[in-house]
Amino acid sequence: MSIPTPHINAREDDFAKTVLMPGDPLRSKFIAENYLENAVLVNNVRGIQGYTGTYKGKRVSVMASGMGMPTIGIYSYELFNFYGVENIIRIGSAGAISPKAALRSIVIGMGASYNSSFVNQFGLPGTYAPTASYALLKKAADAAEKLDIPVLVGNILSNDLFYDDAARTMEWQKMGVLAVEMESAALYMNAARAGKNALCICTISDSLVTGEACSAEERQSTFTKMMELALEIA
């Protein structure tokens, strides 16, 4: 496939080597307007806003992924394989399924369990365990310590279902899974297949344990510690 693709209308060199990837296009816009210098809109197909600018002298891009593994699967594949992107850092929201993960706390996904069939395309003769890239994981943990940002590092669940008729999400708690979101396993698989790097940093926006929840506006523009941590390692 040539570029631009059906989903990204950017030119070949429009993206930096590192792309921050929130789910929400408005979070992408917020980061570009509040953190990046000389930010330029490089993609807006289907309202999936992508920007490139600089942060502390480093060239950085930020582009939304939309919701779910199919969408981040498309965008991360194209960025890795067609646009020469080396690192994608997902910065999203997640629901706590462990009492250790308090509202607004930051969780770094060392591994991503899943209930998706996304992995079937690779034809593997067993069960695959998607993991973050160690280099990015270490940089994030070190930067969090330096910035005095408390983080939890562990396993997260990438769930294909937001509305789960069987209501079985909390069963993952017994295996030490910290939180549930909808994208990271696919991102980690695409990164592994392309020989690239990926990491998920999430802010707890709601809790299946306590019933607490942040508003949509809070999710869009107040999860700044997560954004700053990702920008530091970009």
HSE-CB at 166 with a 13 A cutoff on CA atoms is: 8
Mark out the alpha helices in the chain (DSSP H runs): 25-34, 69-82, 134-147, 184-194, 216-221, 224-233
206 is catalytic: yes
User: Active site residue: 13, 14, 160, 206, which one?
Assistant: 206
Return all residues near 126 (Cβ < 8 A) that are at least 6 apart: none
Cβ proximity of 38 and 48 under 8 Å: no
Cβ proximity of 109 and 136 under 8 Å: no
Q: Using CA atoms, how far apart are residues 103 and 123, in angstroms rounded to an integer?
A: 38
Measured CA angle at 223 (ends 95, 207), to 5 deg = 20
Tell me which residues are annotated as active site. 206
